[in-house]
Amino acid sequence: MQKKTIGNGYSMPCRISAASMDQLASGLRHCSPGTITKTLLVMKWNLWKLHHHIGKTTVLAMKLTLVFFIVAFLSASANGRAQNLSISGKDLRLQKVLKEIEKQTGYVVFANKRDLAETRAITLSVVDLPLEDFLDVILKEQPLKYRIVDKTIVISRKLPVEESSAVKKETIQLTSSDQSVPAPITGRILNADGLPLEGASIKVKGSRKGTFADAAGRFSIDANTNDILVISFTGYQEKEIKAASLQSDGSIVLSISESKLDEVQIIAYGKTSRRLNTGNVHSVKAKDIEKQPVNNPLLALQGRVPGLFIEQSTGFSGTGVKVKIQGKNSIHNGNDPLYIVDGVPFVSQLLPADGGNMVLGNSGASFRVLNVNGNPLSALNPADIESIEVLSDADATAIYGSRAANGAILITTKKGSAGTIRVNLNVQTGGGRMPNKLELMNAQQYLEMRREALQNDGLTPIPGRNGDNDLNGNWDNTRETDWQEELLGGTARYHDYQASVSGGNANTSFLLSTGYHKETTVFPGDFSDVKRSVHFNLNSSSANKKFKMSFSGNYQLGNNRLPRIDLTRNAMLLSPVAPALYTPDGKVNWQPDATGGTTFSKNPIGFLNDQFNNKTNTLIGNLTLGYEILPGLEVKSSFGYTTLMSDYVSKTFLSSAPPEAIRSGRQRSTIFGNNAIQTWLVEPQITYRRALGGGKLEVLIGSALQENASKGSSVMASGFSNDIVMDDVRSAPTVTPYSSANSTYRYNAVFGRVNYNWENKYIINLTARRDGSSRFGAASRFHNFGAVGAAWVITEEKWTREHLPFLSFGKLRASYGTTGSDQMPDYQFLSLYRPVNYELPYQGIPAYAPEQLSNPDLQWEATRKTQAGLELGFFRDRVQLNVNYYLNRSDNQVSAYLLAATSGFESIYKNQQYKIKNTGWELMLSGTVLQKGDFTWNSSFNFTIPKTLLMDYPGVDKTSDASKKIIGKPMGSTYAYHLLGVDPQTGVYIFEDSEGKPTSSPVMKDQNVIVNPFPTSYGGFQNSFRYKGFTLDLLFQFVKQQAKNYSYGSLQYTVGGFAEGEGNQPASMLDRWQKPGDEARIQRYSTTFNYFTPAYLAKELSDGGISDASYIRLKNLSFSWQLPERWVKTVKLHNGTVFVQAQNLLTITNYSGLDPETKSSTILPPLRVITFGAKLSF
């Protein structure tokens, strides 16, 4: 035995066996350099130090990662030298060329001198040619062949043709008359660009023999020369080829499948196709996303995916977005799906921002978390996204464990591809406007209401600046202003510019893109939201395709300068006879009376003077390293990092308030705030693929380590001497802590998946995961989750093909699994304390008071999911139908449990047996309606019928939720009074009491109507028309629901009251009671509170205030024209397209309010946006 020294004195044995030339070759190794030893020692030292910071469990998983990469590095060291060759020369002897191979690659060449003596000279001129391709070139015209064994090239003589023929004839005689002796058949699977398709399946038709292509696309399989090989790969057309007809180089080229069933679907830790998927997964591709002028990629999913319900909270850029997948699984905690961006988890909620901007609306945050506005996904540039997958059932999500209890949304960004360098530009500009206006009272109607209200009360207008200014002469009530036009009638400018460059070769590809996006508002003033972004992706592999690296990143710099107030409310309420907004000299008009006192204190322009500025930095990065140790066995790990940082400044100026407020002590103030969320993730994995028993087996084992660190704080500085210094906290005489947050969340898991596919007919998928979360005490910190999914492709059965020829594809699938949830605030299981301020603390020691009781037994919320689906394709998949049924049961809910007052605490957080059941039907129908000549019409329709029921809530009758949580009814349902109308004699609203009698003063027990505010169905309808270079796409979204309406007006004060100038009402309020005997819808006008209670009950707590809010919305229209090829070539372009796009173009609804999506008349609705643009490719 010989030994080679490694590094600094360490040695390892290198065994050499000379039994045969092949054995000798396979025994040779090039030992790794000393740098690897040094690296491993440093890593071991760092792990020892890290052990003292993050605990044994974390270090154990990181050691697992280290072990994986020790194997990879040691293997890679043997292949560390370049395997591409560059040789030039004329009439070179083969012996000299082989020596040059040894010199450039480090490989050892074995050959017989006698064989080399019979070769011809070679003339070469090659640059950076892969080793195997180089050997094919130099031996093509030689009587030699080669074989590579590890780091050794074995050169041997080819059999003579006569000898080969003799062997073949003898073989035929020894076997059947039409078969040859099985022998290794080798080849290489490539795509149309010549790139290898790693993992492609190769099977011998009619047998159980099979294998997979390695990282270089190569394969070897024992087969007869007359056997038929069946080659398949996700996203490509299946191909059958006779083994004997393989090309001389053994290459087999697969073509991309045109069937949507074969489109690549990204799933958890892998990819598949719709044809072979066992889970409930839907995909939205870049071609659909890029047609929509939206600032958040989630908004591009509205109306496109069954089972996914998305609502836009406001019409502002960066708005909150509420997302639900198959209903709600938790009563009091988070119901957000898990977001994964390029393999890295991304937060679903921003941090609370006390003093931040409230106009953006929330994204469905738990009621236990206040002041959370906006949506973190606004930090992603939609133009950088390649596809979005929505995972719904347990089979698709269980491997993500507790993080995906409410489903998962996987976002994959664009990547570079091999080929010439390509430059793409996308420019579009346009604007957004209010989609509609409410019919409000005009000046005449408003004044009539006001005078009638005073008359009904037996009163006259109150004089003075605090009186009825619209009637006492302080205001000019002969003027009239349409405040919807004045405050909301502007155009929100929309600008979006994108540029990218991409390219690469067979081993390395790249993409770099940048974007600029700006939106303003419809309000008067200079307000905007600006986003600048950079996206990059780098993919690289070694020459033999064994080592792979992928590095991607997204960075966005945001500058939000939106107003602090939503003027929609002011536009709905301001009196039409209110004064002008500005004085003749351009200042805020407070409309002083004869004594100089303010009469127009609600002038909204004053509020617009205040300023808000939020600067954000968002970074998402992921590095993935992988190495194929053996054919089918790959080890890899991903290293992810995200950070979201915001620094906001909110200024309140003296000019935003009337003069009286300043004289009363109002001061200039600024809130300085900052938030930061940082996440890192390490996920080592081992994947093994092989052919087994006529099928394909794939096994995945991995681990996950995740840490989220969230920090936020804000202070209020007040008393500034002037406006100029309000950005400097040191210039304020008074600085007060405003809010503070600091928490760390740690997550650890081990997961696995086994997938077996037998002849693309029977597929079973098993997943398991053990999760650990820092949000639970030691007694319940870890929990196990798992799922099983199965699919039966019935069209692979012979009887189906014989009896159902019109059915081109049919699949039955079903799944069952368990998931958990830890979407709750941190530290709920601990005893928490709060500081207590004393002027004279005892002995100067700070005092703390208990705030929360500990509960070390706090457990995971649990959800069990059962789903079944049927997928059909008709007429060669021209028409496709997908039907899915789901049944999800959730229990063990975490909620506050009320305690006796003697305990000293109001409640303790614990698991309670509240039970929720989600059921629903999902349907997706798509296909090609018409295809004739140059005209194509494609259509898609999806429809969902959801139902979320509260099945159990022990002790609900003893809680404040008694009227809001109804057993056996949909979640969110509430009891309401039944409004009978207006009493013809008294002119007051009357309701039905518990005995069926009319009353104007109902009590709680009289609430006998159940109202469900959640949608009962929703979906979308998409059509795409193409004729030559013209394309028209239309997407309609529809929702069936009920919501609070605006038909009973505003209760800012009373119906008929002045309300400081905010007393206008919708025109529907004119149908009111005026005298005894009147049959009217609206009760009598009044300026007093004598009739306020019935009015409040009618509007807020009766079935009269709830009405149909269903709508059909033309969500998106896109029209494009691809420039003729001759035009493009003339200007040296690769491609060119001009387009017009529109969002929220038309809404059909009976909703008696401003917008049925926001279900409000005081929130800015989603704007109607129209843009024009061009896409150019060089």
pLDDT in tens, 190-210: 887 777 888 888 888 878 788
pLDDT confidence band for 1 (50 / 70 / 90): very low
Residue 231 · residue 691 · CB < 8 Å: no
Average pLDDT value for residue range 5-19: 33
pLDDT confidence band for 15 (50 / 70 / 90): very low
Question: Does residue 248 have a pLDDT over 70?
Answer: no
Residue 296 · residue 377 · CB < 8 Å: yes
pLDDT confidence band for 522 (50 / 70 / 90): very high
pLDDT confidence band for 247 (50 / 70 / 90): low
Give pLDDT, residue 8.
33
Residue 32 · residue 671 · CB < 8 Å: no
Cα separation, 525 vs 563, whole angstroms: 9
Give pLDDT, residue 1128.
84
CATH number of 177-257: 2.60.40.1120
Cα separation, 884 vs 815, whole angstroms: 11
Give pLDDT, residue 31.
39
CATH number of 264-415: 2.170.130.10
Give pLDDT, residue 29.
35
Chain position carrying tokens 């004729």: 1027
Give pLDDT, residue 355.
65
CB atoms within 10 A of CB 537: 23
Share of the chain above pLDDT 90, in %: 56
Question: Does residue 11 have a pLDDT over 80?
Answer: no
Question: Does residue 367 have a pLDDT over 70?
Answer: no
pLDDT confidence band for 366 (50 / 70 / 90): low
CA 123, distance to chain mean position in Å, is 56
Residues 6+ apart with CB under 8 A from 275: 259, 261, 262, 760, 793, 809, 811
Give pLDDT, residue 660.
87
Query: Which residues of the chain are in CATH 3.55.50.30 domains?
Result: 2-32+78-157
pLDDT confidence band for 36 (50 / 70 / 90): very low
**Between the CA of residue 28 and those of 31, 97, 113, 292, 630, what are the distances in Å?**
9, 22, 21, 59, 17
pLDDT confidence band for 368 (50 / 70 / 90): low
**The pairing of beta strand 1017-1027 with beta strand 1009-1011:** unpaired
Question: Does residue 628 have a pLDDT over 60?
Answer: yes
Comparing C-alpha atoms, which of 789, 721, 710 is closest to residue 746? 710
Question: Does residue 225 have a pLDDT over 70?
Answer: yes
The one-letter amino acid code at 1017 reads: S
Average pLDDT value for residue range 965-969: 85
CATH number of 2-32+78-157: 3.55.50.30
User: Taking every pair of C-alpha atoms in the chain, what is the biggest distance, in angstroms?
Assistant: 125
pTM: 0.82
Chain position carrying tokens 């399989």: 221
Average pLDDT value for residue range 428-442: 96
Question: Does residue 9 have a pLDDT over 70?
Answer: no
Question: Does residue 27 have a pLDDT over 50?
Answer: no
Q: Output 117 or 822, whichever has higher pLDDT.
A: 822
Give pLDDT, residue 35.
38
Average pLDDT value for residue range 431-443: 95
Query: Which residues of the chain are in CATH 2.170.130.10 domains?
Result: 264-415
Share of the chain above pLDDT 70, in %: 89
Question: Does residue 927 have a pLDDT over 50?
Answer: yes
Cα separation, 929 vs 878, whole angstroms: 8
Give pLDDT, residue 154.
79
Give pLDDT, residue 150.
66
Comparing C-alpha atoms, which of 862, 781, 762, 883 is closest to residue 817? 862
Q: Output 100 or 926, whichever has higher pLDDT.
A: 926
Give pLDDT, residue 37.
38
Backbone angles phi, psi at 1031, to 5 degrees: -135, 130
**The pairing of beta strand 1111-1122 with beta strand 1030-1040:** antiparallel
- pLDDT tens-digit readout, 537-590: 999 999 888 899 999 999 999 999 999 899 999 999 999 999 999 999 989 999
Average pLDDT value for residue range 950-962: 76
Give pLDDT, residue 1016.
95
Q: Output 1020 or 70, whichever has higher pLDDT.
A: 1020
Give pLDDT, residue 177.
35
Average pLDDT value for residue range 669-693: 93
Give pLDDT, residue 17.
34
215-229, 491-505, 571-585: range with lowest mean pLDDT: 215-229
- pLDDT tens-digit readout, 259-315: 778 888 889 998 888 889 999 999 999 999 999 999 999 999 999 999 999 999 999
Torsion angle, alpha carbons of 324, 325, 331, 336, to 10: -60
Comparing C-alpha atoms, which of 449, 478, 468 is closest to residue 599? 468
Q: Output 1077 or 137, whichever has higher pLDDT.
A: 1077
pLDDT confidence band for 851 (50 / 70 / 90): confident
Give pLDDT, residue 725.
95
Which helix (H) or strand (E) segment holds residue 557: the answer is strand 547-561
Give pLDDT, residue 195.
79
State the average pLDDT for the chain: 86
Average pLDDT value for residue range 822-831: 89
Give pLDDT, residue 664.
84
Give pLDDT, residue 959.
67
**The pairing of beta strand 782-793 with beta strand 847-852:** unpaired
- pLDDT tens-digit readout, 1005-1054: 899 899 998 899 999 999 999 999 999 999 999 999 999 999 888 876 78
Give pLDDT, residue 236.
84
Query: Which residues of the chain are in CATH 2.60.40.1120 domains?
Result: 177-257
Give pLDDT, residue 1013.
85
Count, residues in the chain: 1178
pLDDT confidence band for 13 (50 / 70 / 90): very low
- pLDDT tens-digit readout, 777-821: 888 899 999 999 999 999 989 888 888 888 999 999 999 999 888
**The pairing of beta strand 1168-1177 with beta strand 1135-1149:** antiparallel
Beta bridge partners of 789: 765, 815
